[in-house]
Chain A
């Protein structure tokens, strides 16, 4: 069984290969008679690979996952307009244009039409599948299985933003979200799912500066000013290179581990020696 993450990675590979500008050479190059789903899936519904830029590209679309996806009722030809079976470069440009047809207020990265104030994944530039995973299996964000839904988003941001994602999951926000809280923010609630997002890399939050935190922590402006000056977010006891933020957490963590070790050793010694002594005594009496 292929995991969702593998599929997302496969989708990224497809786009990367598409970006490389290779030519699709399907094993079965017979073009479909029409653009309707059933005909396309006769070939693409089965394992199908092509080669682009010297690398294999998976061209299979899982019929069941596609049918259950947000795009399942659109049909192939809405996005893949004829002529199909063109070069990968052409196919990619056509696909981005196709997304723009419906999702017109979303920026599509370096090849898209950047609009001021709209989300651009800065570096590396990612296409649609880079964020949304396999476009043929994409789910609406309010679907619990969507990669952009709640805590799932960490599995999505995590591969690149590992340290921040681990720290988020360690945090109260992350723990609460993972346990189903609807109030705790996920990655996108602070950093932006959709526009508007700050394009300032120093303030990578979805609203300008402090408005991100104060949207939930109302009345916390004075606290925020102090907190922003005296530490940073996304730090765990294992975070290195975070100065006092990491050191203080690590010191407290290690101190408590040492006390836990001491206490269990003290209690454990009393319990084991007490019981052993009683066992010997019980044996003598019998």
Chain B
């Protein structure tokens, strides 16, 4: 079933590339004291080169945001806008039911519609993140202009926001997004929705049962998917992923919790 049309695939591609470049060229500034930061700067020839690439990637992200907003506006004008990405109360219940199922408190998995609770969460996190990074980034890159209107304390706070939202976005990709579309055994080694726009029947059955049922009612799919990814039953893969994600989660806790609880 088609989940990403051509424009969505282009927008996703631009977002992915610009985000990766922004992280690569932004983290050395945040972690300037680390030895690897200088190594990354050398990849770009100089600090000024690194900054130029960062700003160019920011321009690509801004273009992507405008591209998306244009498409939304056009769809709205034509009364064809799909509001199914908007969170509903049911999504909060889905989150609880999903966790209950994963823990083993509920026998059956919740049945999701076009977008799961985590997909909606990710979407709005990207909207929020782009707005925060865009606004704070503009203030930082044009201090002579922004400084006329924004108080000094707020400029400082926006820089803190820019720096920390970057880490938040990076971790959201590393944990939520990579698992959902790459490392979850039922999509491993990766969903192809971002390439050809289509999800497999087994992926659709697991993540979007209500959509799958629409296909069944149209006789476009069997009552249950014929084949399942072989990785779903791969114990080495699952054990390796458990260890890797466990270590990553522990590393983030060690880095974050002392600062969170400290003075």
Contact = CB atoms under 8 A, between A and B. Distances in A.
Contacts of A219: 144
Nearest to A176: B47
Interface residues of B, number: 67
A227 B152 contact: yes
A278 B238 CA distance: 8
A212 to B, nearest CB: 14
Contacts of A266: 176
Contact of B249 (A227, A268, A285): A268
- Tell me the dominant secondary structure on chain A's binding face: helix
A2 interface: no
A141 interface: no
A180 B39 CA distance: 11
A86 interface: no
A interface residue count range (under 10 / 10 to 19 / 20 to 34 / 35 or more):
35 or more
A271 B234 CA distance: 16
A264 interface: yes
Contacts of B69: none
Contacts of A272: 242, 245-246, 249
A29 interface: no
Interface string A221-247: 011101111111001010000011100
A244 to B, nearest CB: 5
A179 interface: yes
Interface in B165-191: 165, 167-168, 171-172, 175-176, 179, 184-185
A172 B140 contact: yes
Interface of A: 169, 172, 174-176, 178-184, 217-220, 222-224, 226-232, 235, 237, 243-245, 248-249, 251-254, 256-261, 263-264, 266-279, 281-283, 285-286
18 contacts: A179-B28, A180-B46, A180-B47, A181-B48, A183-B48, A184-B47, A220-B147, A222-B147, A226-B149, A226-B151, A251-B157, A260-B164, A263-B168, A267-B176, A267-B179, A270-B98, A270-B179, A273-B99
- Tell me the dominant secondary structure on chain B's binding face: helix
Nearest to A221: B144
A231 B151 CA distance: 7
A223 B99 contact: no
Contact of B152 (A232, A264, A267): A232
A180 B41 contact: yes
Contacts of B234: 282
A235 to B, nearest CB: 6
Nearest to A233: B152
B154 interface: yes
Q: Which 6 A-B pairs have the closest CB atoms?
A: A231-B152, A223-B147, A256-B164, A230-B151, A220-B144, A273-B102
B154 to A, nearest CB: 7
A223 B140 CA distance: 13
Contacts of B50: 179
Interface stretch (B8-16, B77-85, B255-263): B255-263
